[in-house]
Amino acid sequence: MDYQSIAFVAAKQNQAQNALIRLQGQYTCVSPDEADVIVALGGDGFVLETLHRYMDTKIPIYGMNRGTVGFLMNEYDENGLINRLANAEKTDLKPLRMQAWDMNGKKHEALAINEVSLLRETRQAAKLKILIDDIERLEGIICDGALVSTPAGSTAYNLSAHGPIIPIGADVLALTPISVFRPRRWRGALLPSSAKIEFQVESPEKRPVSATADSTEIRDVERVIIYEDKEHALTLLYDPEHNLEERILKEQFQP
Residues noted as catalytic? 44
List the one residue out of 240, 231, 221, 253 whose CA is nearest residue 62: 240
How far is the C-alpha of 102 from the C-alpha of 221, rounded, in Å?
A: 4
Query: What is the DSSP code string of 119-174?
Result: EE-SSSPEEEEEEETTEEEEEEEEESEEEEE-TTTTTTHHHHTTPPP--TT--EEE
How far is the C-alpha of 198 from the C-alpha of 188, rounded, in Å?
A: 14
How far is the C-alpha of 137 from the C-alpha of 159, rounded, in Å?
A: 23
The answer to whether the peptide bond before residue 183 is cis (omega within 30 degrees of 0) is yes
What 3-state class would DSSP assign to 191?
strand
How many CB atoms are closer than 10 A to CB 132?
16
Contact 221, 83 (CB under 8 A): no
